[in-house]
Amino acid sequence: MQLIVRYTHADPALFRRAFDEDAEDRGRNGMTLLQLWREGDSQSWALFQIANPRAARDYLQGAAATFSAQAGVTATDSHFLETA
């Protein structure tokens, strides 16, 4: 299973710094970063491999709020995906 997340933010440097600092927490929740893209200066996209869907969902509903506040994230859009 994979997860793709679109983050909307004001400052790409602040976002990237906070994103990198959050890597250990995401890893503890079964999320492994496969790719990170930037779309202009206001959006970033992350693709994760998910080892534990329940833990990843719990992270998105809880601890991700702390990351979002530190990273200046104003909106997210998350989708869990499986190979068809």
For 42-73, what is each residue's pLDDT tens digit? Answer: 999 999 999 999 999 999 999 899 999 999 99
Q: Do 1 and 80 contact (CB within 8 A), yes or no?
A: yes
Residue 72 domain boundaries: 2-81
Which of 69, 58, 13 is closest to 78 using CA atoms? 58
Single pTM value for the model: 0.93
Q: What is the pLDDT of residue 4?
A: 98
DSSP string, 12-23: HHHHHHHHHHTH
Q: What is the pLDDT of residue 39?
A: 96
Domain containing 77 — which CATH number? 3.30.70.260
Q: Tokens 């602040």 sit at which residue? A: 14
For 6-33, what is each residue's pLDDT tens digit? Answer: 999 999 999 999 999 999 999 999 999 9
Q: How many domains does the chain have?
A: 1
Q: Do 18 and 71 contact (CB within 8 A), yes or no?
A: yes
Distance separating alpha carbons of residues 70 and 29, to the nearest angstrom: 19
Q: What is the pLDDT of residue 11?
A: 96
